[in-house]
Amino acid sequence: MIDLEASNNYDFMICYYSLDRIEERFFQNILKLIINYPIIWYNFLENTLKNKVMVSFQNTVMIISQELIPPQQKKYFDCIYRCMAESRTILKTVEKKGFLIIYLYSQKISDFFNNSGFWLEYITAYACSEIGFTTYRGALLKTRDQKIQEVDVLVDLDSVVFFIECKDTYNYTNEDLKKIFDLRKKINIYSFAVFVCSKTGFELDYHKYEINLIKYRYNYYAFKKELKELITRKMISLSF
């Protein structure tokens, strides 16, 4: 379901996808796992989930090639599977010819696993919410030129907004930075841009596009602290 937010102070509209109770419970549980057991998540993410031969998706169906999962990686997969099962996001499973076919509860759950950057968006949004900021993940902004653009994470501080782009890949360029820079020019309030990545890619021109870089190093509490300090500094800078 798409919800809408509007403010008399803004010349744009914020749209975002809301979660039902089962989806909320899953995201709470999987984020706790990512925070408390980063080694488990990192190994599952890098050695299993990102292997498109080992794991594939068809809409809300997740297909695992059990024969291809190395024994040392199976324990990490089992932890994630248990989290999914305890969150009641697995409708049914079928084992066939060496494949484990998992029917997931919703498209949002499937997208979380199928889009490698989504976990970073959710953990960033979770950190912003824990700090106490009004936060939207996957926000859709309709600007005064009637164009719609998605923002990975949007932090709304009434008279100031932060646009946060999240990338869990080496495959990003200055075009990704320019996209946020151009969006900031379309709105009528103060805004800042933050780029959150889990991997350091090529040398990009962050200074030119006025973007602050934070790297997620699989230490959630250090990341949240760095994020809070950055946003606080930017807000203080507006006082001078």
Whose structure tokens read 């909320």?
24
Distances from the Cα of 196 to the Cα of 22, 54, 134, angstroms: 28, 27, 18
Average pLDDT over residues 188-202: 87
Task: Identify which has the larger pLDDT, 186 or 217.
Answer: 217
pLDDT at 162 over 50: yes
In the chain, where are the structural domains located? 2-18+117-237, 21-105
Q: What residues pair up with 192 in beta bridges, in sequence order?
A: 162
The one-letter amino acid at 16: Y
Q: How does pLDDT run across 130-148, given as a tens digit for each residue?
A: 999 999 999 888 887 888 8
What single DSSP character describes residue 28?
H
Whose structure tokens read 């950190």?
127
User: Is the domain covering 21-105 a CATH 1.10.1760 domain?
Assistant: no
Q: What residues pair up with 104 in beta bridges, in sequence order?
A: 90
How high is the pLDDT of residue 3? Answer: 53
d(CA 68, CA 90): 22
Q: How does pLDDT run across 71-126, given as a tens digit for each residue?
A: 999 999 999 999 999 999 999 999 999 999 999 999 999 999 999 889 999 999 99
User: Would the CATH topology of 2-18+117-237 be identical to that of 21-105?
Assistant: no
The one-letter amino acid at 110: S
The one-letter amino acid at 11: D
How high is the pLDDT of residue 9? Answer: 56
Distances from the Cα of 63 to the Cα of 57, 79, 82, 95, 133, angstroms: 6, 17, 16, 10, 37
8 pLDDT tier (thresholds 50, 70, 90): very low
How high is the pLDDT of residue 4? Answer: 47
Q: Which CATH number fits domain 2-18+117-237: 3.20.20.140, 3.40.30.10, 3.40.1350.10, 3.40.50.720?
A: 3.40.1350.10
User: Would you say the C-alpha torsion 76, 79, 80, 81 has a positive or negative sign?
Assistant: positive
Q: What residues pair up with 154 in beta bridges, in sequence order?
A: 136, 163
103, burial (CB in 10 Å: exposed 0-12, middle 13-18, buried 19+): middle
pTM of the model: 0.92
H helices, E strands: number in the chain: 7, 11
